[in-house]
Amino acid sequence: MSEHKKPGFFDLKRNLTGLVAVVAVITVAGWYFGFSWNDVGDVAESVATVTKPELPVKVNYRQSMVGKGYVAIIKNMAGQPLAVEIDLRDPSAANKKRELKTLNPNKELSIGWLEGWEFKAGDVIKISNPEFQTGVYAIK
């Protein structure tokens, strides 16, 4: 006879109440510590996708050689093409940009001044694919 285990609080795949509670705690903590709604939303989205495999990308930054600011370098670490939605946002959320891209296997995609986005400290990149956890990366 097999034994059925009761799902734990953080077994989010089976426990919608746990997910709602975690998102509520993140929202209240974000408000208390002065995070923007965009920051709270990014964290909540990351938590909501926690049961999925980790997004197989690596994000680094370098100083722009042409123009101003930084260049984001997004590398697909998977051995196959990866279709992603890339959201770019500045800290005030006054400027936003959304792009749909296919990242080639083991290749890098650069986004910076020449591609229409001048990264500066505090800017955020959110990368999502329905099969993986959402990745949120901020320039420090």
Instruction: Kindly report, residue by residue over 36-77, the tens digit of the pLDDT.
Output: 656 656 666 666 667 788 999 999 999 988 878 899 999 999
The answer to whether residues 19 and 64 belong to one domain is: no
The answer to whether residues 68 and 120 belong to one domain is: yes
CA distance 43 to 46: 5
25 CB contacts (<8 Å, ≥6 apart)? none
Instruction: Find the mean pLDDT for residues 101-119.
Output: 92
CA dihedral 41, 43, 48, 53 (to 10 degrees): 130
Read off the pTM.
0.67
Helices (H), the chain: 16-33, 37-48
The answer to whether residues 31 and 61 belong to one domain is: no
Instruction: State the total domains in the chain.
Output: 2
The answer to whether residues 78 and 129 belong to one domain is: yes
Name the pLDDT band for 110 (thresholds 50, 70, 90).
Answer: very high
Instruction: Find the mean pLDDT for residues 107-119.
Output: 90
* Torsion sign over Cα 21, 23, 26, 28: negative
Domain boundary among 32, 51, 70: 51
CATH number at residue 130: 2.60.40
The answer to whether residues 65 and 116 belong to one domain is: yes
Domain that holds residue 61: 57-138
